[in-house]
């Protein structure tokens, strides 16, 4: 049976990573969370004081540091999913904080950051058999992917999901602040000059505002099998 490349793009907090991980597990494919890669760079920048007091990025210093930023994924047998590592350090929990969420979109607009990470992502998917999610997978990273899906949901639904996720992890959560962050990230992601968030012309649209996880997973698996068997 042939192995295909599956690109899942969409707005923040749509559950793209969860559905992509589940789909990869069902198909026996490799999963790559590109959003985690941008979050890892953001965490590095925060830890190394590469943000000014006004929120501006010290782009020259960050560009010089890119060769020292090594991101990898390791399978976690307990969760059945990959964890994110930065220079050998497990950072899966660190990159999911609201502080990182509030800083990641400006980092993702930087051309040199996107160029470096896109190159890594393309190498990961050279042989197919991969599920990758992010903002520009179907438009930039894998424009020839056999299956492309664009995921969306209302800002309010996404904010509530993010709020619940943080609460369940015992992390600080304020719904109004999260909603503002979701709306701001949508605007930044859609209006950046480099690889803006948009639906690829040949991508299938999935609005999961009213869908359960089981319903969306069933739909995704049906689409994947349809393409694989065609």
Task: Return the bridge partners of 81, or none.
Answer: 76
pLDDT at 193 over 90: no
DSSP-derived secondary structure for 142-182: -TT-SEEEEEE--HHHHHHHHHHHHHHTT----HHHHHHHH
Residue 126's Cβ-side half-sphere holds a number of Cα atoms within 13 Å equal to 4
Say which residues have a Cβ less than 8 Å from residue 28's Cβ, sequence separation at least 6: 129
pLDDT at 1 over 80: no
Average pLDDT over residues 165-192: 90
Average pLDDT over residues 142-169: 94
pLDDT at 144 over 80: yes
The values of phi and psi at residue 72, to 5°, are -145, 165
pLDDT at 44 over 90: yes
* Length of the chain measured in residues: 230
Distance of CA 150 to the CA centre of its chain: 12
Say which residues have a Cβ less than 8 Å from residue 72's Cβ, sequence separation at least 6: 84, 85, 88
Q: Mean pLDDT in the chain?
A: 92
| 8 A C-beta contact, residue 98 and residue 179 | no
Integer CA distances (angstroms), 115 to 57, 109, 111, 123, 140, in order: 17, 11, 6, 13, 10
Q: What is the helix (H) or strand (E) element at residue 190, kind and residue range?
A: helix 175-191
Say which residues have a Cβ less than 8 Å from residue 93's Cβ, sequence separation at least 6: 169
pLDDT band at 74 (very low <50, low <70, confident <90, very high): confident
pLDDT at 195 over 90: no
Would the pTM count as exceeding 0.85?
no
Angle at 6 between CA 132 and CA 29, to 5 degrees: 75
pLDDT band at 137 (very low <50, low <70, confident <90, very high): very high
Q: How far apart are CA 170 and CA 10, in angstroms?
A: 27
| 8 A C-beta contact, residue 76 and residue 83 | yes
Query: What SS3 state is found at 187?
Result: helix
């Amino acid at each position: 049976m042939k192995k295909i490349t599956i690109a899942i793009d969409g707005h923040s907090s749509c559950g793209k990573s969860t559905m992509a991980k589940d789909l990869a597990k069902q198909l026996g494919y490799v999963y790559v969370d590109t959003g985690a890669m941008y979050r890892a760079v953001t965490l590095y920048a925060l830890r190394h004081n590469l943000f000014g007091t006004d929120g501006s990025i010290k782009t020259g210093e960050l560009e010089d540091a890119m060769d020292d930023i090594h991101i990898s994924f390791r399978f976690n047998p307990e969760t059945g999913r990959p964890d994110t590592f930065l220079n050998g350090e497990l950072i899966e929990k660190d990159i999911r904080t609201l502080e990182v969420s509030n800083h990641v979109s400006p980092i993702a607009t930087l051309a040199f950051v996107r160029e470096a990470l896109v190159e890594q992502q393309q190498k990961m998917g050279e042989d197919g058999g991969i599920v990758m999610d992010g903002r520009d997978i179907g438009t930039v990273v894998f424009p020839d992917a056999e299956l492309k899906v664009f995921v969306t949901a209302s800002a309010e639904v996404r904010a509530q999901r993010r709020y619940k996720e943080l609460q369940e992890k015992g992390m600080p959560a304020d719904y109004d602040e999260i909603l503002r962050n979701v709306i701001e990230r949508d605007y930044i992601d859609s209006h950046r000059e480099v690889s803006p968030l948009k639906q690829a012309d040949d991508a299938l649209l999935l609005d999961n505002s009213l869908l359960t996880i089981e319903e969306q997973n069933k739909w995704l698996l049906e689409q994947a099998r349809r393409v694989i068997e065609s």
